[in-house]
Amino acid sequence: MNEKKRKTQQEQRCWVGLDWGNEGHAVSVVNDARKVLEKFEVGASLAEMDKLVGRLRAFGVVAGIAIEATSHPVVCYLSAAGFPIYPINPKLSKNWRECNSVAGIKNDERDGLVLAVELAARHASLRLLEQDASTVELAGLCAKLRDLVDERTSLVQRLEAALGQYYRGGLDFFSDWTSPTAWRFIKRFPRPEVLAQAGKNTLIRFLKANRIGLKPIWLERIDARGDAVRWPKPAQSVALEAMALATIAQLQALQPHIDKLDRLIVQAARDLPHARLLRSLPGAGERLAPALAAITTVQAAEPETLEGIRCISGVAPVEITSGKRRRVRIRRRCNKHWRNVMHLFAKSSTAYCTWAKAFYDLHRNQGDHHGTALRKLADKWLKIIRAMLETGQTYDDKRYVEALRKHGSPVYLRLGGKTGG
């Protein structure tokens, strides 16, 4: 390569599209004019990654790399090497591919080229991969905790289904089947006959060993233990019992990992300066407050990014307008974990905050579905969070209710003048 060509490459800005694979990656490089500079393939080994970094740096300034991933090893490697990464939603890249050809052609080389070309044209409207390590770690912990909790919920539903078929008396003994005590109860008394034959003192000792006080409701359940054998015994009761015990074994193996993630999240959230503010939100608790901190970290530094957070978290609806017709529907192309967090927080807040419950009830009475009412409440909370981050003040319920009164809000009218806490 002559010196003039080398100098030109060092001065030009280029954009890269990378279509990743388990065995190798297809790479395309274009300039600002979207002219193809080079297309090549690299393997997925560490040595091939070193070669990829060297080839990309030879092009001069790599302004960005588009890839359909956020945590793939190639993303981590290129990010650690100092390249700006633009994670692209696969649905978005599919639309780009279809816009470039109606033939429906799809292969790795073409996908990489489409990513590079569209990144060169649209980079101003795309978001760079979050680089703050502590925020990324916290967001990852919250997301994986949600996955494990969802897995536990699925197992609990399977357990309840099995118990409902062969062991109705045992199912009625506990109301919360996410409790490890309930799982130990089934292991100790796995079938109706065992529960009916158990002495009253045996059951009392079990409850005391699991730190359950002898309230009247528990004594009533103990006295009614003989009713467990009055339910008809299904033919597949042995199989159902085996399924219930196998499910409990899975739940008991899963729960320590959920507890560990809980501890790690609390520890990681302490490092975020605005986590203290978010813990003052009613209903946030030790689980949702760190997740909210991870979601709003960008806004903590740039308050004007609220609209982006509303869209990415799915709180902002999608408006479809055609002529005089207007429809509003849920935003499906968003971060599903963020959306779940916002909806969970909105739901939780209704149990601790009077105006939030009034807001939810008001929209339900106006005809909104449960999910729509929660979305609108979550949107309201995001605006409150923005004000908290801008002022550095913790949440004050009385101050907000007073603001509702001054503005003549229908939510305040529904409260009947109460100043909930």
Among all chains, which residue has been given the structure tokens 């100092």? 82
- pLDDT for 298 beyond 80: no
Whole-number Cα distances in Å, 324 to 161, 176, 317, 367: 49, 50, 19, 22
Q: Tell me what pLDDT residue 393 has.
A: 87
Tell whether domain 136-267 is in CATH 1.10.287.4070: yes
The mean per-residue pLDDT over the stretch 288-295 comes to 78
Q: How confident is the model at residue 299 (pLDDT cuts 50, 70, 90)?
A: very low
**21-25, 157-161, 293-297, 356-360: least confidently modelled range:** 293-297
**98-112, 166-180, 198-212, 343-357: least confidently modelled range:** 98-112
* Alpha carbon distance 295, 315 (integer Å): 12
End-to-end CA distance of the chain: 72
Question: Exposed e or buried b for every residue in 368-387, given b needs 16+ CB within 10 A?
Answer: eeeebbbbbbbbbbbeebbe
Is 0.85 topped by the overall pTM? Answer: no
Structure tokens at 398: 């009385």
Q: Which of 172, 225, 181, 173 is nearest to 199 (CA)?
A: 225
Helix 285-295 × helix 133-166 angle, to 10°: 140
Beta strands in 182-228 (DSSP E): none
Task: Give the pLDDT confidence of 221-270 residue by residue, as tens digits.
Answer: 899 899 889 888 899 999 999 999 999 999 999 999 999 988 888 777 77
- What is the third-level CATH fold of 3-129? Nucleotidyltransferase; domain 5 (3.30.420)
Which H helix or E strand runs over 60? Answer: none
Q: Tell me what pLDDT residue 186 has.
A: 95
Q: Tell me what pLDDT residue 89 has.
A: 83
Task: Give the pLDDT confidence of 66-120 residue by residue, as tens digits.
Answer: 998 877 888 888 988 889 999 888 888 888 888 876 666 677 788 889 999 999 9
Task: Give the pLDDT confidence of 316-336 residue by residue, as tens digits.
Answer: 777 777 677 777 767 766 667
Domain ranges in the chain? 3-129, 136-267, 302-316+330-415
Q: Tell me what pLDDT residue 7 has.
A: 52
Contact 77, 37 (CB under 8 A): no
Task: Give the pLDDT confidence of 115-152 residue by residue, as tens digits.
Answer: 999 999 998 888 888 656 676 777 778 778 888 988 99
Among all chains, which residue has been given the structure tokens 């919250």? 142
Instruction: Provide CB contacts within 8 A for 6, sequence distance 6+.
Output: none
Task: Please indicate whether the domains covering 3-129 and 136-267 agree at the CATH topology level.
Answer: no
Q: Tell me what pLDDT residue 301 has.
A: 43
Q: Tell me what pLDDT residue 107 has.
A: 75
* Alpha carbon distance 120, 221 (integer Å): 68
Contact 345, 292 (CB under 8 A): yes
